[in-house]
Amino acid sequence: MSTEKDIYILAIESSCDETAASVVKNGRCVLSNVISSQIELHKLYGGVVPEIASRKHIEKINQVIEEALNQAEMTLDDLDAIGVTYGPGLVGALLVGVAEAKAICYAKRLPLVGVHHIEGHISANYIENPDLEPPFICLVVSGGHTHLVAVKDYGTYEIIGRTRDDAAGEAFDKVARAIGLGYPGGPKIDKLSREGRPDAIQFPRAKLEDSPYDFSFSGVKSAVLNYLNSCQMKGEEVNRADVAASFQQAVCDVLVEHAMLAVRDYDLDKFAIAGGVASNSTLREAFARACEKEKIQFYHPSPIFCTDNAAMIGVAAYYEYIAGTRHGWDLNAVPNLKLGER
Give contact residues for ligand KG4 (rule: CB under 6 A): 16, 142-144, 169, 172-173, 184-187, 190, 275-277, 279-280, 307-308
| Interaction residues for Zn ion, span 118-157 (CB under 5 A) | 142
Rounded least distance, CB 110 to ligand KG4, Å: 26
Closest approach, Cβ 228 to ligand KG4, in A, equals 19
Our CB check for ligand KG4 shows the closer of 8 and 280 to be: 280
- Pick the closer one to ligand KG4 by CB: 100 or 190: 190
Q: How far is the CB of 282 from ligand KG4 (least distance, A)?
A: 8
Closest separation between CB of residue 233 and ligand KG4, Å?
29
| Backbone φ and ψ of 280, nearest 5° | -60, 125
Complex with Zn ion: residue 170 or 308, whichever CB lies closer: 308
Q: Which of residues 231-270 bind Zn ion (CB under 5 A)?
A: none
Closer residue to ligand KG4 (CB): 87 or 185:
185
Q: Count of CB atoms within 10 A of residue 279's CB?
A: 21
Task: Based on the shown chain and the rule CB under 5 A, indicate whether residue 193 belongs to the binding site for Zn ion.
Answer: no
User: What amino acid occupies position 46?
Assistant: G
What is the smallest separation between the CB atom of 121 and Zn ion, expressed in angstroms? 6
Which of 219/335 has CB closer to Zn ion? 335
Minimum distance from residue 8 beta carbon to ligand KG4 (Å): 25
Residue 198: how many other CB atoms lie within 10 Å: 17
Q: Residue 249 binds which entry of Zn ion, ligand KG4, none, with Cβ cut-offs from 5 to 8 Å by kind?
A: none
Q: Can you spell out the DSSP letters for 262-323?
A: HHHHTT-SEEEEESGGGG-HHHHHHHHHHHHHHT-EEE---HHHHSS-SHHHHHHHHHHHHT
CB of 325 to Zn ion, least distance (A): 20
**Maximum Cα–Cα distance for the chain, whole Å?**
75
- The entry of ligand KG4, Zn ion, none near residue 154 (CB within 5 to 8 angstroms by kind) is none
Q: Which is nearer to Zn ion, 161 or 301 (CB)?
A: 301
Residue 1: how many other CB atoms lie within 10 Å:
2
**Contacts for 61 with CB less than 8 Å, ≥ 6 apart:** 12, 14, 19, 21, 96, 97, 100
CA dihedral angle for residue 317, residue 49, residue 141, residue 102, rounded to 10 degrees: -10
Footprint (CB under 5 A) of Zn ion, residues 276-315 = 308
Cis peptide before 184 (omega within 30 of 0): yes
Measured from the CB atom, the residue of 114 and 143 that comes closer to ligand KG4 is 143
Q: Which residues of 77-92 are buried (b: 16+ CB within 10 A; e: fewer)?
A: eebbbbbbbbbbbbbb
Binding site for Zn ion (CB under 5 A): 142, 308
